[in-house]
Amino acid sequence: MHAIRLLLAAPVLLVTSPAALAGASAWHHVEGGAVRVVTGEAGPGGELRGALELRLEPGWKTYWMDPGDAGVPPMLTIRHKGADLPAELRFPAPQRFKDRYAAWAGYGRDVSFAFTLELPAGAAAAAALDAELFLGLCEHVCIPVQASLPVDLTAPQGQAETEAAFAALPGEPTGQFNATLTEAAGDMLKVDVTADGSADAIQLFVATDGRAMLGMPREAGRHGAALRFLVPVLSGADTIDAGSRLPYTIISDGDAVSGVLHLPPAN
């Protein structure tokens, strides 16, 4: 991702705090908000669910997984004894913002990003996990926030916060509420959305794996029962191939679903 609009001259770097709450890191306060990592109770198979929680001060915003051509998505790395534990953030439905620089997707309210990971044997009884995060917070300009946070697992108490983060995620697509990538031609994707509600109430958000950059989807009329959106590919069109997975979220009349777009079969 390029053209990251961050105020790099004044980075905000948080150091590891020696005091950590059970099942959660301490809150770390920065300009524009505060952040912490919480966990629920580990399952019998070593599965651990958790959430990256972000409190935003009035007027501040942060980014969705694909923030457009001028932002940076939240990133989280979890480690146990120096070894990375793969944990992919999951995102609640975003909203669209437009400033003098660009249009982008993100959040202007308190938000939690859910995650799940597999603990190695014995880790649930260990002292802590180490969480490293990086995200952008924006008011009139955007600043980078980097933090290293210890998460104590000896007595997990982040269960309610973790459950709330997962409950806030969009649902799974259905036959009546979904999106289909019908064509990828050069610098444009055609995506057909099936959803109840008026066209004015339907919003589409599409992300990539980071190699390509997408513009804001725009409506292009009805195609049968579906509403077609055109999604500009601003760069990296040649990286979108049969193996590409393009996450999407649809919002319609207050409901939301998230799924993955795939290129249509070759004729």
* Separation between Cα atoms, residue 71 and residue 63, nearest integer Å: 7
Question: Is residue 255, in this structure, part of any structural domain at all?
Answer: yes
Supply the range of the domain harboring residue 117.
Answer: 12-167
Do 123 and 32 lie in a common domain? yes
| 36-53: pLDDT as tens digits | 999 988 777 778 899 999
Query: Per the domain annotation, does 132 fall within a domain?
Result: yes
Model confidence over 205-255: pLDDT tens digits?
A: 999 888 888 989 999 998 888 999 999 999 999 988 888 899 999 999 889
Residues 212 and 242 in one domain: yes
Over 184-251, what HEC string results? EECCEEEEEEECCCCHHHEEEEECCCCCCEECCCEEEEEECCEEEEEEEEEECHHHCCCCCCEEEEEE
User: How far is it between the farthest Cα atoms of the chain?
Assistant: 59
Note whether 17 and 68 are same-domain residues.
yes
Are residues 25 and 64 located together in one domain of the fold? Answer: yes
- Residue 10 burial class via C-beta count within 10 angstroms: exposed 0-12, middle 13-18, buried 19 and up: exposed
C-alpha to C-alpha distance for 259 and 191, rounded to whole angstroms: 13
Domain membership of residue 7 (yes or no) is no
Domain count, the chain: 2
**pLDDT, tens digit, 9 for 90 and up, residues 118-170:** 888 766 555 678 999 999 999 988 899 999 999 987 655 788 999 999 999 99
Whether 71 and 136 have beta carbons less than 8 Å apart is answered as yes
Q: What angle do CA 232, 238, 239 make, to 5 degrees?
A: 95
Pick from 127, 142, 167: which residue ends a domain? 167
Do 232 and 125 fall within a single domain?
A: no
Question: Residue 92's pLDDT band (boundaries 50, 70, 90)?
Answer: very high
Do 71 and 28 fall within a single domain? yes
Q: What is the pLDDT of residue 45?
A: 76
Q: 118 pairs with which residues across the strands? A: 47
Q: Where does a domain end: 133, 167, 201? A: 167
